[in-house]
């Protein structure tokens, strides 16, 4: 199907209706669903051991629950007050230790052993779990049960199996039992129809719709402490990684799973949840497809040490609200709908008042301490031992491109790893550029077959991506035997970089205009370039000989906090700009970027933003990337190479010190980018207060209440600079579209300092 020739909505609806109605009826609120595990606890105190945790239910509400060690491993005891549901949680306990837990009101209690991270259940534990189509409850090693929904390929039933099978694992409403394909069809046929509370939202689209159209069975696993899953939510802590292990092993043991091995797929939440799961090395995990994932949670929650009051704060608040015991206005809609009829779902709400406040963790906790390191997904990279196909976007408005800073670590973890990087926003990880390769990869490593065309995807691509999206390419490995296909896949370059993504006239992802490939990211043949900030707003290849300073007022409120609806220019006096001479030849930037600033301030601490743009020959200015940093975090550890020192400064966020009088050296990690500067274009760097450059991120700036005057040193011994990498790649003729997805444009206006 070519661009601009879209199948009519009625035809798409008919296609989906025929396939969806072949064995996938609408789901009514079910009776207590199948699933094997511990019996529902009766009245009275029950303490269960988790990994580094003890969970208490059935205590007297308001009573003091006491925990004492039984083996001397932890000489001190602990006390907590049971919440109104009679629940309590003790955290950060010694792995393998045994404790006595007592209800202070009744004196009843029991001994409990805390699990270790390698207390993996025997294979028989997983074989006892039988999962049927629809909503099930899957037991985990600590007695918590997870809501999981089994969905066969579109138009098939489990009895038609075995099927290649994928898991999506998320804290969104993936456990909602209604079929998302049936819900999509119903919405097409009756756009005014209210949404079904038992249907998942768009968060299951990749797994619940796209993968099933490609012939895969999908099991949607609800994160503990959300929806109808048991337990309490402590986002991204160790128990959720081990739950992922148990989900992989429990699903792989089903007789309808082809080959007894499963893959994982998902975007965003169900993308980065794959990394700690794979790091636990479940033996029956076959492959990963993490899309729009993040590397370190604080890169979104506290970028550069500054709390993100935009996307991060609202997202964390939603997670806490969604974890409240249903029924509750903030809880997931399907849990609210089921707690009255589903006893397991109802009892799985018992620990919900013990959910930790994610905003409290990320706003108030000192950076790089244990609470942060436990939520560093990069720590799992070196432990992943299965093939990985990942996709990230340079202008991702939610999780950002910070994960690209250390993307090479994930690539080194397995030589079969492939990474697709591109211009574009959060949802563009599933695009015409990636979709065919995703399923060629999954066919080889999960289905164990030679890649084949996915008719369901070609018939519905306009529905998936929008009417003006690029057509899906044909699988280039089709027709080869499996061994040949695998060899050719593994011989491909490790990294593909897609450039200049069209905005698109309708919702959905579009294709990139051109691409290049590389053995790594950054590319091994990349050249380090450093440009120096100078007087008169110059951005030069050599540092000025004489030292000087340029001042601005760091007032975040002087400019809109967001780049929507209009990407504004900084008001005069609130930022300083530095612009290069026109490039003589086309130049392609690709890799991490960092600024090395000499900064003085009238305050003892200040926040700084560095923005990189292209000033085009036509007089338009186009956004490329940006980065923010709190100046009191100035300690930088030595890098492995001079290039690492220049573009990937290893900033120590445990060391925070007030600014000294005069100029201080401050390093800023700018978000990685890839962009082609055509001959005649100029590179611009703007330094100023935080905000105004991104659509969804906002910052709790220390400058807001009393804006200081900041100065940037340049030249001599205080030569501020920006370093980036270029690659020997030639872009196609003609300028990039202006704007592209995630890259707004405006008329170039020089700032008063000349740049």
CB 284 within 8 A of CB 123: no
Find all residues with CB under 8 Å of 723, minimum gap 6, and list them: 528, 529, 530, 531, 593, 594, 595, 596, 646, 647
pTM above 0.85, yes or no: yes
The 3-state DSSP composition of the chain as helix, strand, coil percent (nearest 5) reads: 25, 25, 50
Secondary structure, 3-state, 677-716: ECCCCEEEEEEECCCCCCCCCCECCCCCCCCCEEEEEECH
Interhelix angle 435-442/482-491, rounded to 10 degrees, is 130
CB 734 within 8 A of CB 555: no
Extract the tokens encoding 573.
């006096």
Rounded Cα distance, 395 and 365, in Å: 28
Pairing state between β 257-267 and 285-291: parallel
Extract the tokens encoding 250.
């429990």
**Residue closest to 282 by CA, chosen among 191, 169, 375, 143:** 169
Q: Give residue 625's pLDDT.
A: 98
Extract the tokens encoding 579.
């612009």
For tokens 């940006």, the residue is 626
Number of Cβ atoms within 10 Å of the Cβ of 703: 23
**Residue closest to 723 by CA, chosen among 555, 438, 522, 453:** 522
Three-state DSSP at 159 gives: helix
Paired residues of 612 in beta bridges: 625, 685
Rounded Cα distance, 456 and 470, in Å: 17
Extract the tokens encoding 254.
């089903």
Which domains are present in the chain?
A: 9-27+128-518 (3.40.50.1820), 46-113 (2.60.40.230), 527-747 (2.60.120.260)
Rounded Cα distance, 534 and 532, in Å: 6
Q: Is the link from the previous residue into 21 a cis peptide, with omega within 30 of 0?
A: no
Rounded Cα distance, 280 and 292, in Å: 21
Q: Provide the residue count of the chain.
A: 755
Rounded Cα distance, 349 and 335, in Å: 9
Q: Listing from the earlier edge strand, what are the strands of the sheet with 109-113?
A: 78-81, 64-69, 98-103, 109-113
Q: Give residue 469's pLDDT.
A: 75
Rounded to the nearest angstrom, the gap between the alpha carbon of residue 303 and the centroid of all alpha carbons in its chain is 14
Q: Give residue 38's pLDDT.
A: 33
CB 552 within 8 A of CB 577: no
Rounded Cα distance, 573 and 570, in Å: 8
Q: What is the CA radius of gyration of the chain?
A: 27
**Residue closest to 85 by CA, chosen among 43, 52, 139:** 43
Pairing state between β 418-422 and 389-393: parallel
Rounded Cα distance, 550 and 537, in Å: 9
**Residue closest to 404 by CA, chosen among 419, 382, 418, 416:** 419
Rounded Cα distance, 484 and 153, in Å: 27
Element containing residue 407 per DSSP (H, E): helix 407-413
Q: Give residue 30's pLDDT.
A: 32
**Rounded alpha-carbon distances, angstroms, from residue 177 to 148, 194, 228:** 9, 17, 11
CB 540 within 8 A of CB 532: yes
Rounded Cα distance, 314 and 310, in Å: 6
Paired residues of 531 in beta bridges: 722
Rounded Cα distance, 54 and 12, in Å: 51
Burial class (CB in 10 A: 0-12, 13-18, 19+), 615: buried
Q: Give residue 554's pLDDT.
A: 98
HSE-up (13 A, CA, CB side) for residue 683: 28
Extract the tokens encoding 204.
């299951």
Secondary structure, 3-state, 56-97: EECCCCCCEEEEEECCCCCCCCEEEECCCCCCEEECCCCCCC
**Rounded alpha-carbon distances, angstroms, from residue 603 to 87, 658, 659, 691:** 47, 9, 8, 19
Rounded to the nearest angstrom, the gap between the alpha carbon of residue 55 and the centroid of all alpha carbons in its chain is 28
Rounded Cα distance, 474 and 314, in Å: 40
Q: Give residue 43's pLDDT.
A: 55
User: Per-block average pLDDT, block size 10, for the chain (755 residues)?
Assistant: 30 38 32 33 76 92 91 68 94 90 85 92 95 97 96 96 97 94 83 88 90 97 96 85 96 98 96 94 98 90 93 90 92 96 96 85 67 80 94 95 91 86 94 93 97 92 78 91 96 96 62 94 97 97 95 97 95 98 97 98 98 97 98 94 95 93 98 97 98 96 97 96 97 92 95 96
Rounded Cα distance, 290 and 277, in Å: 11
Q: Give residue 29's pLDDT.
A: 32
For tokens 């309808």, the residue is 256
Extract the tokens encoding 7.
């199948």
């Amino acid at each position: 199907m070519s661009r601009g020739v879209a199948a009519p909505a009625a035809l798409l609806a008919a296609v989906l209706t025929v396939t969806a109605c072949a064995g996938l009826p609408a789901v009514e609120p079910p009776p207590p669903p199948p699933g094997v595990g511990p019996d529902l606890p009766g009245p009275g105190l029950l303490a269960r051991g988790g990994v580094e945790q003890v969970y208490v239910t059935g205590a007297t509400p308001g009573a003091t629950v006491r925990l004492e060690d039984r083996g001397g491993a932890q000489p001190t005891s602990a006390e907590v007050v049971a919440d109104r549901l009679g629940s309590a949680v003790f955290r950060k306990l010694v792995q393998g230790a045994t404790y006595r837990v007592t209800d202070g009101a009744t004196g009843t209690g029991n001994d409990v052993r805390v699990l270790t991270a390698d207390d993996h259940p025997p294979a028989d534990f997983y074989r006892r779990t039988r999962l049927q189509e629809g909503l099930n409850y899957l037991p985990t090693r600590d007695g918590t049960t997870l809501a999981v929904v089994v969905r066969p390929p579109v138009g098939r039933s489990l009895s038609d199996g075995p099927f290649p099978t994928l898991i999506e694992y998320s804290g969104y409403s993936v456990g909602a039992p209604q079929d998302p394909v049936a819900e999509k069809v119903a919405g097409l046929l009756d756009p005014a129809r209210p949404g079904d509370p038992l249907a998942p939202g768009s968060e299951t689209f990749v797994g619940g719709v796209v993968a099933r159209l490609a012939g895969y069975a999908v099991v949607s696993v609800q994160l503990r402490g959300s929806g109808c899953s048991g337990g309490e939510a402590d986002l991204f802590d160790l128990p959720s990684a081990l739950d992922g292990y148990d989900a992989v092993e429990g699903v792989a043991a089903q007789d309808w799973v082809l080959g007894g091995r499963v893959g994982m797929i998902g975007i965003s939440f169900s993308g980065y949840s794959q990394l700690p799961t794979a790091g636990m090395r479940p033996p029956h995990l076959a492959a990963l497809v993490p899309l729009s994932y993040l590397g370190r949670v604080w890169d979104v929650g506290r970028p550069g040490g500054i709390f993100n009051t935009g996307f991060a704060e609202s997202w964390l608040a939603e997670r806490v609200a969604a974890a409240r015991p249903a029924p509750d206005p903030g809880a997931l809609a399907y849990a609210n709908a089921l707690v009255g009829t589903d006893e397991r779902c109802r009892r799985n709400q018992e620990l919900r008042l013990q959910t930790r406040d994610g905003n409290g963790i990320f706003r108030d906790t000192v950076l790089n301490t244990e609470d942060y390191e436990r939520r560093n997904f990069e720590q799992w990279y070196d432990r992943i031992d299965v093939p990985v196909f990942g996709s990230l976007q340079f202008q991702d408005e939610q999780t950002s491109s910070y994960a690209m800073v250390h993307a090479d670590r994930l690539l080194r973890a397995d030589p079969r790893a492939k990474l697709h990087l591109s211009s574009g926003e959060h949802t563009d990880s599933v695009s015409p550029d990636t979709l065919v390769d995703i399923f060629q990869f999954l066919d080889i490593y999960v289905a164990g077959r030679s890649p084949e065309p996915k008719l369901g995807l070609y018939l519905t691509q306009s529905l998936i991506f929008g009417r003006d999206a690029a057509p899906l390419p044909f699988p280039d490995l089709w027709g080869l035997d499996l061994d040949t296909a695998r060899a050719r896949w593994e011989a491909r370059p490790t990294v593909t970089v897609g450039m200049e993504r069209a905005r698109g006239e309708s919702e959905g992802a579009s294709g990139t205009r051109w691409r290049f490939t590389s053995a790594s990211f950054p590319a091994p043949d990349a050249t380090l370039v450093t440009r120096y900030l100078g007087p008169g707003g110059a951005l030069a290849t050599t540092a000025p000989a004489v030292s000087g300073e340029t001042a601005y007022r760091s007032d975040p409120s002087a400019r809109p906090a967001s780049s929507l609806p209009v990407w504004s220019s900084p008001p005069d006096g609130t930022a300083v700009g530095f612009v290069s001479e026109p490039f003589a030849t086309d130049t392609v930037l690709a890799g991490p970027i960092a600024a090395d600033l000499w900064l003085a301030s009238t305050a003892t601490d200040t926040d700084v933003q560095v923005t990189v743009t292209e000033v085009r020959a036509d007089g338009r200015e186009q956004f490329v990337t940006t980065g923010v940093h709190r100046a009191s975090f100035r300690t930088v550890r030595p890098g492995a190479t001079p290039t690492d020192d220049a573009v990937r400064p290893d900033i120590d966020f445990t060391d925070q010190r007030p600014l000294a009088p005069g100029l201080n050296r401050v390093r800023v990690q700018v978000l990685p980018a890839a962009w082609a500067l055509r001959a005649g274009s100029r590179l611009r760097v703007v330094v100023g207060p935080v905000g105004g450059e991104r659509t969804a991120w906002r910052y709790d700036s220390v400058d807001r209440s009393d804006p200081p005057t900041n100065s940037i040193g340049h030249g001599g011994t205080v030569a501020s600079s920006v370093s980036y990498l270029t690659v020997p790649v030639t872009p196609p003729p003609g300028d990039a579209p202006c704007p592209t997805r995630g890259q707004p444009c405006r008329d170039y206006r020089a700032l008063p300092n000349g740049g």
